[in-house]
Chain A
Amino acid sequence: MSLFAALASVVFGAMSKDTTRDRVIYGLKVFAEFMVIGLILGWILYFIP
């Protein structure tokens, strides 16, 4: 999941925004969102039989 989040956020970050700084920030934000949402969904599905 971490690798997937990293690869996807690299592409999303690189193709968005105008400055390098904004791209890095956006990439990190997307990475964090992937991780947090993945963990939340993982725990929700863990309790669903």
Chain B
Amino acid sequence: MEDDLVKTERLQLADEVEPTPGSAWLIGLAAWFVPGLGHLLLRRWWRALLMGGAVWVCFFVGMAMGGHLFDLYAEGSSVLLQIPPMIANVGTGILYGVSWMFDYGFRDDPAQAARATYEYGNTFLLIAGLLNYLNMLDAFDVAAGRKP
């Protein structure tokens, strides 16, 4: 009996949940594509500057340190191993896209890999993408009215 009541309450709550507006999905997409753009479109200037800026700084610092971007092309290692870091890198949106178009940062260069900052650079590039996924989710939540 009690279980039935709980189920009924849940169904009622599910009916009361407002549908996510289409604009929220677009804002989320924009936030992923250009880091900071989602919050800019929402007029959250400080969040755009801080959260988007952190991603841009992280990416360029990673590049300056000689970091390596991942794609599905693998020399001497399994393609499957490339997928998780690639997903993280793809989080930077247009930054990854432009680098991919110009083939910048993807090649396995032994001289680059020998740099002391190589692994730090890789980490910064991975973190840039992952932070931008958080930015994207935050922008989506704000656009959907789930966050102030």
The interface of chain A, by Cβ under 8 A from chain B, is 3-4, 7-8, 10-12, 14-15, 18
Contacts and interface: CB of A to CB of B under 8 A. Distances in A.
Given A3-B61, A18-B148, A8 B131 contact: yes
B21 to A, nearest CB: 20
Contacts of A10: 50-51, 54
Interface of B: 46-47, 50-51, 54-55, 57-58, 61, 123-124, 127, 131, 134-135, 138, 148
A18 B147 CA distance: 9
A11 B61 contact: no
A11 B124 contact: no
B120 to A, nearest CB: 8
Contacts of A11: 50-51, 54-55, 131, 134-135
